[in-house]
Chain A
């Protein structure tokens, strides 16, 4: 199962980037073998959280470790049945180790207010 970590750099020894939507790199890691892929985050305009969530889901991640995650990203990840682990800090390799040791619990709500156009908005599924 692959795990995504928001990172400031593209190595396992890089520091966890506490923001998800606008982090520098998405590290997609296979925790057993420690094989990984570093995806550079394109600095998108609005909806950075949405794009970030889509990026890691498309890369096959089924869990995310980050510092804080806004409501839009959270909704996308929830829909994709990906676990979200918040308040991760330290080096990427450290949080992977903590994950393997069962030290995290999954978040049930986002812990950040997110960026543009976030206030008072709800994600609408708009299904007829």
Chain B
């Protein structure tokens, strides 16, 4: 089973364009994961033909029964998250579900309710089975949801005898990105040649390094700033990442998205050509 997780550090560098393109170029049987559970986009290009939907619960929220509450104030005093108001209402957005108020309420007036945190889907698409999710607003534990998606994708891959799992990763370098990358075999960082992009790419690389996952790097829209592109390339080489190539800014990319298709399917322009070359190189270098 081969695995590739596509991340970026910074948002907006073109991960989803690359993921959708790679999904199309991959001729072997594959399972796709959209691990950006906060703001999933892959399904906008690779549209589900049918989906099974599942509920996702995570953690608990406290609820105060006002009939039993004696207003002693111990819960307010002990809540580290300032989630209980002066009139003894739990703000469910601030409530972390730590259970401290529940444990110590002398009147046992507090209960903990399981929180429905989102939905996840197993979808059939033209590019194979896709596992994705939608975390509810204010949702936490997206890392756990991502774990669930990965586990499910493994199961689907086994059932279908697929040989590749491709993940469109989340932005950032926190717990969602960590959960997407950990214990996988290959990471591709899609960078943009900007100061911010370079800064965040380094953080993404640090993350992958600590998780001991080998890193490949590519630059999107490279002609925006060839100097920073070169710096990224040099940095990659110096820091033991494989530099896979660069893609020029190409109008066809946003046009492809508008047309709900991947850039490599939409045109054979400069961007598409460059991306195909990078795809081949990535495939050759997979662990």
Contacting B144 at CB < 8 Å: which of A45, A113, A118? A45
CB-CB under 8 A from B207, the residues of chain A are 119
Taking A113-B182, A118-B182 as contacts, is the C-beta distance between A22 and B175 under 8 angstroms? Answer: no
The answer to whether A22 touches B151, judged by C-beta atoms less than 8 angstroms apart, is: yes
**Cβ of B179 < 8 Å from any Cβ of A?**
yes
CB-CB under 8 A from A119, the residues of chain B are 178, 207, 210-211
Output the nearest chain A residue to B206 by Cβ-Cβ distance: A119
Q: Tell me the B122-147 residues at the A interface (CB within 8 Å).
A: 141, 143-144, 147
Contacting A116 at CB < 8 Å: which of B175, B210, B212? B175
Q: Tell me the B147-171 residues at the A interface (CB within 8 Å).
A: 147-148, 151
CB-CB under 8 A from B141, the residues of chain A are 45-46
Provide the bound-state CA to CA distance between A22 and B144, in Å: 11
Provide the bound-state CA to CA distance between A120 and B173, in Å: 14
The answer to whether B58 touches A113, judged by C-beta atoms less than 8 angstroms apart, is: no
Provide the bound-state CA to CA distance between A45 and B144, in Å: 6
The answer to whether A113 touches B143, judged by C-beta atoms less than 8 angstroms apart, is: no
Q: With A113-B183, A119-B211 given, name 13 new contacts (CB 8 A).
A: A22-B147, A22-B151, A43-B148, A45-B58, A46-B143, A68-B183, A113-B210, A114-B182, A115-B147, A116-B143, A117-B178, A118-B182, A118-B211
A residues in contact (CB < 8 Å) with B:
19, 22, 43, 45-46, 68, 112-120
